[in-house]
């Protein structure tokens, strides 16, 4: 682990690592807000922020993406030409067999500084301070996001302990809180899909909603990615917002990859960027 912070107002939790994954089979039976899916309403994403003046000119109209990639594009904050992070860590060597030593379970160099800030700020529970290259789930992204909201002192999970869940597949105060605030709306038909992997455009939508809940002005920008046409209509506005506020950017080669997955380390540095955008 690389450190720990504190997130107050979490029932039964004295450190950010004490939150446990939710149980499925919630008590509620509601449906996604407005009948739209969370796949059509939540978002995901994070990118490398290039030095000032290094951003690449935009060249397409915003139809379905977040923002122009930085300086020719870097992979979620990775240096140019760096390979995409694997979905799962390499299998460990079998004891007694020759092989390369296991790499330490720490964030990649390009993400390390911002991930450490997120951990020190109390946004990352102990449970999630490992497996940094793993794709983050929808529930775990909520776990990180709600801690930022709690730090603002405007929200408290204690208020949602006995509130019925609006979803049939999860009964958890974190998700119920974010649903009540309007940050998550499910995937439709009363489901939330807590253990599904979040997509970049889903993360973008959730980040924008959280930013507005925290008082950040709703200002966006047109984006011009080569894969703009792949962005869902419900995510276009959110992409412009997170790009304008330099919370998310692109994945390189002038692409946003809206349907791509999001790793834990990408999610953590996105959260710290959101926190910094709100505080400025």
Would you say residue 133 has pLDDT above 90?
Answer: yes
What is the pLDDT at residue 105? 87
pLDDT at 188 over 60: yes
**Closest by CA position to 235, among listed 76, 42, 67:** 42
- Confidence at 24, pLDDT banded by 50, 70, 90: low
The conformation of residue 81, written as its DSSP 8-state character, comes to T
**Sequence ranges of the domains in the chain:** 33-79+105-279
* SS3 of residue 188 by DSSP: strand
Which range among 105-119, 142-156, 182-196 shows the weakest confidence by mean pLDDT? 142-156
Which of 1-10, 47-56, 151-160 is least confident?
A: 47-56
Closest Cα to residue 68, out of 87, 93, 50, 88?
Answer: 50
pTM above the 0.85 mark?
no
| Residue 162 burial class via C-beta count within 10 angstroms: exposed 0-12, middle 13-18, buried 19 and up | exposed
Q: Collapse the DSSP code of 131 into the 3-class scheme (helix H, G, I; strand E, B; otherwise coil) and give the result.
A: coil
pLDDT at 100 over 60: no
Model confidence band, residue 101 (pLDDT cutoffs 50, 70, 90): low
Closest CA to 65 of 214, 219, 248, 211: 248
Task: Find the mean pLDDT for residues 214-219.
Answer: 90
At 276, the pLDDT band (50, 70, 90 cuts) reads very high
Tokens of 8: 């107050």
In which band, very low, low, confident or very high, does the pLDDT at 102 lie, cut at 50, 70 and 90?
A: low
Q: What angle do CA 247, 251, 255 make, to 5 degrees?
A: 105
pLDDT band per the 50, 70, 90 thresholds, residue 110: very high
Which stretch of 54-58, 109-113, 140-144 has the lowest confidence by average pLDDT? 54-58
How would residue 156 be classed by pLDDT, with cut points 50, 70 and 90?
A: confident
pLDDT of 30 reads 38
């Amino acid at each position: 682990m690389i450190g720990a912070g504190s997130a107050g107002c979490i029932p039964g939790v004295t450190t950010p690592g004490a939150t446990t994954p939710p149980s499925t089979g919630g008590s509620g039976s509601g449906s996604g807000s407005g009948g739209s899916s969370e796949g059509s309403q939540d978002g995901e994403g994070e990118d490398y922020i290039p030095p000032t003046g290094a951003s690449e000119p935009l060249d397409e109209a915003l139809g379905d993406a977040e923002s122009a990639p930085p300086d020719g594009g870097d992979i979620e904050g990775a240096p140019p030409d760096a390979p995409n992070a694997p979905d799962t860590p390499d299998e460990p060597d079998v004891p007694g067999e020759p092989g390369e030593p296991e790499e330490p379970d720490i964030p990649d160099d390009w993400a390390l500084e911002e991930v450490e800030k997120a951990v020190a700020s109390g946004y990352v529970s102990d449970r999630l301070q490992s497996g940094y290259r793993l794709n983050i789930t929808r529930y775990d992204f909520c776990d990180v996001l709600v801690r930022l909201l709690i730090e603002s002192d405007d929200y408290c999970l204690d208020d949602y302990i006995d509130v019925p869940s609006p979803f049939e597949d999860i009964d958890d105060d974190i998700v119920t809180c974010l649903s009540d605030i309007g940050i998550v709306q499910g995937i439709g038909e009363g489901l939330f899909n807590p253990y599904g992997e979040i997509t970049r455009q889903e993360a973008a939508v959730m980040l924008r909603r959280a930013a507005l809940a925290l008082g950040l002005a709703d200002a966006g920008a047109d984006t011009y990615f080569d894969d703009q046409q792949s962005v869902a209509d419900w995510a276009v506005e959110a992409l412009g917002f997170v790009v304008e506020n330099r919370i998310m950017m692109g994945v390189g080669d002038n692409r946003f990859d809206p349907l791509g997955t999001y790793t834990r380390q990408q999610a953590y540095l996105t959260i710290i960027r959101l926190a910094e955008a709100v505080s400025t």
